[in-house]
Amino acid sequence: MKKNRLMIVLFLTPALLCYLLVFLYPSVRTTVMSFFKVESVSDPISSWTFNGLENYRTLWATSIFKQSMKNIARIWFAGGLGVMIVALFFAVSLTNGMKGVKFFRSVIYLPNVVSAIAMGTMWINYVYNSSYGLLHNIFATLRLAVLSETLWTGPDNLFWSMLVAYCFGMVGYHMLIFMASIEQIPRDYTEAALIEGANAFQRFYKITLPFLRGCFRTNLVMWTVFTVGFFVWAQLFSPVNLSNATVAPMNYMYELVFGSSASTGTMRNSGAGAAIGVIMMVIVIIAFALTNLIVRSDDVEL
Amino acid sequence: MATKSLRTLDSNNQRRLLPSYILIITWVIFTFILIGWVLFASLSTSQEIFSDHMFRFKTGFHFDNYVRAWKTQRVSTYFMNSVLYTAVSCTTIILIAAPAAYVLSRFRFKGNSVVQNLIASALGIPAIMIVMPLFSLVSRMRLTNNRWLLIFLYISMNVPFTTFFLLAFFKNLSTTYEEAASIDGCSPMGTFWRIMLPLVQPGLITVTVFNFITIWNEYFMSMIFANKPQVRPVSVGLFNMIQAMRYTGDWGGMFASVVIVFAPTFLLYIFLSERIIAGVTAGAIKG
């Protein structure tokens, strides 16, 4: 037993140290920092001055922050709805006796393994390009002049263009999670329903959906975690300055704390940056708690 | 009789699946066009990309785009940096996470479930929450733009996921292996390294592929902690290159850089897609 204790300590310590140093300590310090006035992120604690909820109030009065929250709310809701519907549709189709499942599934998941920078570059410089781009060519062939001349990455369309490009890559991940749950539904159920003459919609509503409650929870929590971390795509679609159309809280935090572009005139304010971090963390916790509440995990654990 | 009726039901089913086939095949073709186009564009000149006869390759295949990207645009530096970072990190992650996962899944001790919950909680902590204190710590220790610091971050950030992933693999092993080993006089630690670790090899490979893809594509942390070109990994390097090349007008070179950067994970995926897909669901469903 004594030997085991030594082994437990030896085997756990490195992993715990990683956790303490890179997750626990920074999270606690960020939370504390969000209640203090801190100008530069590397200021020592002695120069911090306590200012209660002032950082949060400042954020709430800043229009670009409100815009960034509005943007991730739209990403979460509109993007989430689109991704879940397409992912579920693909998952149900692919588990319903289609041929070539393995091939289709691999191709649909593919964007997840490619660097977001590379994917974004393909979308911006090819699909959305207004002189030789894919959309331009398709609409020009169909003689839809208005659509073929649309500037997809112009200010009016920037947000939705970004959202479509982002969601295209996300479908694969959520589809795989749906598929794994659907595959665990006992075949007898579907076969019995098939023989009894239930159509695809009836089978979907009466058998598939009830079984999928647990996996909706996983998908919703993961979608929230991804949305909160939304950063690269906004930077790709507005590479130089923050723009109202694409800014996400993380981009604004980066601007506040590590300030890259002087032209936006953002003052360095690391306390407010920390407050953004805390707000994002709280969103994840709320999403986790809510999905636990709505979709009771004891229903069907797959 | 029963099989026959099932077969007619199946052919009916195939017909009903027609809309699904159309949508999924369109989606798949679109993905292929996206990647195929970049491949072709990376072999064309900038003028050809903008012309309407771009894929006829009248002036031949321009492999010089790759040579230019590799040599003059520092892609070689970024690429080699990323190779170093991913190789060292992926190995060390296993050396740290596998023993932890083993102990957590096999031994009963006070605080076991607390540690497991802590590790699971790390999966939900966004990068934005941890980046500021880390940066302040690192800049006071004057470690920004340090390769080993980057490697340390890549390791630490992926240890919780890897531990969590491997827990299930160790839980599924029978305890008879350990019993037999202890009867033969093998120490618990020896049992782990010599018997248990090789038994979870499939899990180790899958999770390493995941870590490889994550670290290769990691952008946010690298952008903050590596701002000198000499230490940049591919993702940050590519972003900067794209911004620069848009202004110099070297489109062929830009797409060649894109291809060089996504090639490693893409090739890995072609060979290991089944394994990766099985891993996605194994890792996520319990999360």
Q: Looking at per-residue confidence, does A262 or B83 come out higher?
A: B83
Mean pLDDT of chain B: 86
- Domain boundary assignment for chain B: 18-62, 74-285
ipTM associated with this complex: 0.87
- Spell out the domain ranges in chain A: 58-294
Nearest by CB to residue A176, choosing from B20, B157, B280, is B280
| A:16-75 residues touching chain B, CB 8 A cutoff | 16, 18-19, 21-27, 29-30, 33, 41-44
Q: Check whether B166 has a pLDDT greater than 60.
A: yes
Nearest CA in chain B to A131: B50
pLDDT score at A280: 95
Subunit contact B134:A24, Cβ cutoff 8 A: no
Could you tell me which residues come within 8 angstroms of residue A210 by beta carbon, excluding any fewer than 6 positions away? A300
Note down pLDDT in tens along chain A; length 302 residues. 556 888 899 999 999 999 999 999 999 999 999 999 988 888 888 888 898 899 999 999 999 999 999 999 999 999 999 999 999 999 988 988 788 889 999 999 999 999 999 999 889 888 888 877 888 888 888 877 777 777 787 778 899 999 999 999 999 999 999 998 888 888 888 788 888 888 778 888 888 888 888 788 888 989 999 999 999 999 999 887 788 888 999 999 998 888 765 545 567 888 999 999 999 999 999 998 888 877 665 444 44
Task: Decide which of 3.20.20.70, 1.10.3720.10, 3.40.630.30, 3.40.50.300 is the CATH code for A58-294.
Answer: 1.10.3720.10
Distances (CA, A) of B33 to B30, B38, B268: 5, 8, 20
What is the nearest CA distance from A122 to chain B, expressed in angstroms? Answer: 7
Residue type for position B205: I
A82 lies within 8 A of chain B by CB: no
pLDDT tens digits for range B108-127: 888 899 999 999 889 889 99
Q: What is the rounded CA–CA span in Å between residue B97 and residue B40?
A: 42
Question: Please, which residues have CB within 8 angstroms of residue B129's CB and are 6 or more apart in sequence?
Answer: A26, A27, A30, A277, A278, A280, A281
Higher pLDDT, residue B253 or B166 = B166
Minimum-distance CB partner of B269 among A15, A43, A110: A110
Estimate to the nearest angstrom the gap between the alpha carbon of A186 and the chain centroid. 31
* pLDDT for res A272: 92
Instruction: Name the band, by pLDDT with cuts 50, 70 and 90, for residue B249.
Output: confident
Nearest chain B residue (CA) to A45: B136
B214-248 burial code (b ≥16 CB/10 A, e <16): bbbbbbbbbbbbbeeeebbbbbbbbbbbbeebeee
Q: What is the pLDDT of residue B176?
A: 87
The span from the CA of A35 to the CA of A59, in Å, is: 12
The pLDDT of residue B6 is: 56
**SS in 3 state form for B70-109?**
HHHCCHHHHHHHHHHHHHHHHHHHHHHHHHHHHHHHHCCC
- Listed in sequence order, the residues at least 6 apart from A274 whose beta carbon sits closer than 8 Å to its beta carbon are A30, A31, A33, A34, A38, A55, B132
C-alpha count within 13 angstroms, C-beta hemisphere, residue A31: 10
For position A27, what pLDDT does the model report?
A: 95
Picking from B30, B32, B276, B24, the residue whose alpha carbon sits closest to that of residue A96 is: B24
Lookup: tokens for B124: 């939900």
Facing residue for A97 by CB, picked from B13, B97, B102: B13
pTM confidence score: 0.88
Q: What average pLDDT does range B46-60 have in this prediction?
A: 67
Q: Cα–chain-centroid distance for residue B119? A: 20
Give the residue from chain A lying closest to B193, CA to CA: A11
CB contact under 8 A, A26 and B238: no
Contact B240, B26 (CB under 8 A): no
CB atoms A121 and B97 under 8 Å: no
At A291, is the secondary structure helix, strand, or coil? Answer: helix
Which residues 170-199 of A have a C-beta within 8 angstroms of B?
A: 173, 176-177, 179-181, 191, 194-195, 199
**Which neighbouring-strand residues pair with A36?**
A50
Residue B254, H or E segment: helix B251-285
Question: Which residue matches tokens 């070109």?
Answer: B229
- With cut-offs at 50, 70 and 90, classify the pLDDT of residue B131: very high
The CA–CA distances, whole Å, from A190 to A95, A211, A214, B12, B217 equal 11, 12, 19, 15, 40
For B44, half-sphere exposure in the C-beta direction (CA atoms, 13 angstrom radius) is: 20
- The CATH topology of domain B74-285 is MetI-like fold (1.10.3720)
pLDDT of residue A260: 60
Q: Tokens representing A10?
A: 């030896």
Alpha helices in chain A (DSSP H): 2-19, 25-33, 54-60, 63-74, 80-94, 101-109, 116-122, 134-141, 145-148, 158-183, 187-195, 200-203, 209-211, 213-228, 232-237, 249-258, 270-294
- Among candidate residues A111, A156, A158, A161, the one with its CA nearest the CA of residue A135: A161
Question: Rounded CA gap, B130 and B150, in Å?
Answer: 15
Q: Among the ranges A235-249, A258-272, B50-64, B150-164, which has the highest mean pLDDT value? A: B150-164
Neighbour count for residue B266 (Cβ, 10 Å)? 16
